[in-house]
A and B are shown apart, each in its own frame.
Chain A
């Protein structure tokens, strides 16, 4: 699970109102090399919850000087985009779980895949 994906995921346990962002508890994290496309990363930024991304990266120990807030003109800042690219697309949680911040319910991540299935009584 890349942090880009984590940024989109939310807890959908019944009754939960503050299920986002999910807390990451990782037991195995990998960093891959992914081709850098500055335009693609730049277009991604406005679609994200930036603070949730920073929080997640920090929690994994992969913040690497990613700024806590977006600066204007980030689209042209290649250094910034490279850092964003790394955090969003190269850091991957392979094993661990995602925890709902409100209910505490844990969703396992196995072989890089989060299993978000709820039980009958949680829907």
Chain B
């Protein structure tokens, strides 16, 4: 069974019925809305299931099903007037976020608190009153709530995990679910996660630990895993198959929640100070830390990583990037100029077309994954098309020469890097030559610092921004900053997470995210290239792409946009070794050039 994929396991009463099912269902096509799937069935000897204890609800959490009738549900939904919402509706629509409306007091997402001195004039809708009286009568809450937040979630929307601010609201929080079922996940700081199904018309009561310490959130998705039939413990999902509970997928509909709370006027003095902003904790603590991306483990993950940290970035920074890419590297030019007139040259990953016009006597065509960059080639009068370097739409053995300059280091697995080299070789005619340049881990070579590093010193000397001592400290800090282990062939970081590189310092790991600071309009004059930087960054980037989503808060926009590009920087010998795995081609020369490892191949 291929790893890292979801599987569903089905048990049949008899071997015969299992075989029948296999015959009839294996390979069947199914339509589900806009999606179509193919079923693949296989027999397995056993199911590796985690022996889990039956999970109970977090302490203080009570779920009351069928709290309101269908008629009451309809009346409550109709009572919410979305048209007069005082939030920025257009921004919400553009961001495809859930819709939110407040009554009684406005909840502020900038400080996760309530403006207690400015109650909203309207108060709570009258349609809610008898529902709240029922809550008090049934002992779910002692006091009438005076604040209501209505959240409306379309399928695919959610809310990040959060704890409702202690100082803003009293203990008990009531949440009524209307319109559709959804799964809410509760997370304890110790790592325990409890998924709870919230059926329509149910009331969720959060008190004590479930209100003050556990975070709650709804994962943005279109399907939830829920129990298939009425199990003993209706709300909690358990994966323990020995309890004979079975799971199925529930398609999300539009769910509206009405969350009723009582404003707290005195500081909170709960028994959970670690999560309490009245008792010293930061006002928006999260049980789980923010997560940067990890090294991919399969093609699909790799493609997704590259889409986010290579392709989207280049499309966004194309014109700025192009303006910093004006000086072709001499040794590449030498290679190009040495090609016989009339040679067919393919520049795979041509970027802004920098090399397409170097030798006007060759027939040059470029391709790049970024349509924005290919557009720039076209504007310059070069012939180029959009394609992926792993699958170039040129016939086999039709090129006299290929170049791949600063491209292959953007592939996030060794398998893909090898495939990129193979593709270059495929294009070559017998006797054809390919030139490959990739970023080197070792920026300093033969005691010569690369231009990338040299510019760091130069910039500091010129600008006196930071005295030399702290500049050295910054480089040392870069070493400590990373959570990676020693660097070796096929380096795998201990926890697989990618670290963010500090520009113009030595690389201390092979798989990195390199910041690019986007400048408005054209780039600065005389921008350095191997440096890959539009801005002098000497301190740890504090405007780093935000990997976390704050509780109840909208994503912040940083004043200067920072993009991160994924790189796998090559160790000495690594590129040669990679090319050595491709048959039918020989390494003719191998050298270090301005912070790059370079290889020239010739096809047999």
- A interface, CB within 8 angstroms of B: 1-2, 4-5, 8-12, 20, 39-40, 43-44, 46-47, 107, 111-118, 120, 123
Contact = CB atoms under 8 A, between A and B. Distances in A.
20 contacts: A4-B383, A5-B385, A8-B344, A8-B394, A9-B394, A10-B394, A11-B393, A12-B393, A43-B341, A44-B363, A47-B344, A47-B363, A47-B398, A113-B374, A113-B378, A114-B386, A116-B385, A117-B386, A118-B391, A123-B388
Contacts of A47: 342, 344, 363, 398
A117 B342 CA distance: 28
A84 B441 CA distance: 48
* B: interface residue count bin: 20 to 34
B154 interface: no
Contacts of A111: 375, 378
A46 to B, nearest CB: 8
B586 to A, nearest CB: 24
Given A12-B391, A20-B395, A2 B383 contact: yes
Nearest to B340: A43
The 7 closest A-B pairs by CB, nearest first: A43-B342, A116-B387, A114-B385, A115-B386, A116-B393, A12-B393, A5-B383
A113 B375 CA distance: 7
B392 interface: yes
A111 B572 CA distance: 42
A12 B391 CA distance: 7
B387 to A, nearest CB: 4
Most buried by A among B342, B378, B385, B398: B385
A1 B385 contact: yes
B553 interface: no
A10 B386 contact: no
A47 B390 CA distance: 24
Contacts, number: 71
A20 B393 CA distance: 10
Contacts of B367: 116
Contact of B393 (A10, A40, A44, A46): A10
Contact of B342 (A40, A116, A118): A40
Given A1-B383, A40-B341, 13 more contacts: A1-B385, A9-B385, A10-B393, A12-B392, A44-B363, A107-B393, A111-B378, A113-B374, A113-B386, A116-B367, A116-B386, A116-B387, A117-B386
Contacts of A107: 393
A10 B375 CA distance: 21
Contact of A115 (B341, B385, B395): B385
Contacts of B303: 120
Interface in B365-379: 365, 367, 369, 371, 374-375, 378
Contacts of A40: 341-342, 361
A11 B375 CA distance: 21
Contacts of B383: 1-2, 4-5
B378 A112 contact: yes
B384 A113 contact: yes
Contacts of A10: 393-395
Given A10-B394, A12-B391, A20-B395, A5 B365 contact: yes
Interface string B281-309: 00000000000000000001001000000
Nearest to B386: A115
Contacts of B344: 8, 47
Contacts of B384: 113
Contacts of B300: 120
A5 B363 CA distance: 9
B311 to A, nearest CB: 10
Most buried by B among A1, A8, A111: A8
Contacts of A120: 300, 303
Given A40-B342, A115-B386, A116-B385, A8 B374 contact: no
A89 to B, nearest CB: 9
A40 B361 CA distance: 7
A51 B387 CA distance: 25
Nearest to A10: B395
Contacts of A39: 341
Contacts of B386: 113-117
Contacts of A117: 369, 386-388
Contacts of B378: 111-113
A113 B393 CA distance: 14
Contacts of A44: 342, 363
A8 B345 CA distance: 11
Contacts of A8: 344, 365, 394-395, 398
Nearest to A109: B385
Contacts of A116: 367, 385-387, 393
A104 to B, nearest CB: 16
Contact of B363 (A1, A4, A123): A4
A48 B440 CA distance: 38
Contacts of B398: 8, 47
A10 B300 CA distance: 25
Contacts of A43: 341-342, 361
A112 B361 CA distance: 23
A47 B342 CA distance: 8
B243 to A, nearest CB: 38
A72 to B, nearest CB: 18
A107 B391 CA distance: 14
A123 B361 CA distance: 34
Nearest to A107: B393
A99 B365 CA distance: 20
Contacts of A114: 385-386
Contacts of B385: 1, 5, 9, 113-116
A123 B395 contact: no
Contacts of B393: 9-12, 107, 116
B258 to A, nearest CB: 41
A45 B217 CA distance: 65
A112 B375 CA distance: 9
A20 B395 CA distance: 8
A93 to B, nearest CB: 12
A112 B374 CA distance: 10
A39 to B, nearest CB: 7
